[in-house]
Amino acid sequence: MTNPIGKRELNKARKRAEIVDIATRSFFEHGYAATSMSAIAEELGGSKATLWAHFASKQDLFAAVIDLQVDSFSQDIDEVLTSQTYSVPALRRACARFLECLLRENAIRLFRLVVSEGGRFPEIKEMFYSRGPVKLRKCVIEFFATRVSEARATELSRLMIAMITGFRSDILLRPSSPSMAEREAFVDSLVEMITRGIPDQPTPS
């Protein structure tokens, strides 16, 4: 076969993905320091040599894990608000979805990991920040800007995002996860509060 992608490269990529998958679970569960490469190799079924054939070091593997998760998170965020115009129902829908994204198991674990290891791995912190929060804010500002001024949209975005991420902050430390009803009640009062600061009809220019 003279395929541009031979079986060689395909298998290699598959193996790599498998390693990243196992490593993700381990880093998520035990944190960076308490995850051991030997344990990953064992779970993989293969040997350590295979691990080092794909990643030069533990840090390299960690970076690959975070990169993948950030990507998936970033995609989730993207899908919520693309080409939406402001309306109260659209706002409510968006808030509920954002909250859902942020409370997903993987998103919580990613956040935990970035918060705890960010100090020691600045490049990981930046990777997450630019593709996560920064992007999110841009989307939300655009959404509000379809109804209010850019300055006001920025202000509202900041408050709205703060409320949603603040809710997550609490979840991180709570013994049990919040009920559906609690989440809905929170979104309702959040939306009510935000809409108080927005005129019912678009101001004609």
Partner DNA sequence: CAAAAAGTGTACTTAGTAGTACAGGTATGA
Partner DNA sequence: TCATACCTGTACTACTAAGTACACTTTTTG
Applying CB under 8 A, the residues found at the interface with a copy of itself are 30-34, 112-120, 122, 125-126, 128-129, 132-133, 155, 158-159, 161-170, 172-175, 186, 189-190, 192-194, 196-197
Residue 98 binding result from DNA, a copy of itself, none, given CB thresholds of 5 to 8 Å by partner type? none
> Residue 165 to residues 8, 168, 171, 188, 201: CA-CA distances in angstroms?
44, 5, 10, 16, 28
Size of the site for DNA (CB under 7 A): 27
131 binds DNA (CB under 7 A): no
The only residue of 2, 179, 201, 203 in contact with DNA, by rule CB under 7 A: 2
| Short-list 74, 72, 91, CA closest to 140 | 91
63 binds DNA (CB under 7 A): no
Dihedral sign (CA 131, 54, 11, 48): negative
Spatial distance between the Cα atoms of 77 and 132, rounded to a whole number of angstroms: 8
CA angle at 194 for the pair 201 and 83, rounded to the nearest 5°: 65
Residue 43 binding result from a copy of itself, DNA, none, given CB thresholds of 5 to 8 Å by partner type? none
Element (H, E) at 84: none
What proportions of the chain, in percent to the nearest 5, are helix, strand and coil? Answer: 75, 0, 25
Residue 119 binding result from a copy of itself, DNA, none, given CB thresholds of 5 to 8 Å by partner type? a copy of itself
Select 43 or 182, whichever has its Cβ closest to DNA: 43
* Minimal distance, residue 115 CB to DNA, in Å: 21
160: its two tokens: 């709205």
Residue 17 binding result from DNA, a copy of itself, none, given CB thresholds of 5 to 8 Å by partner type? none
21 binds DNA (CB under 7 A): no
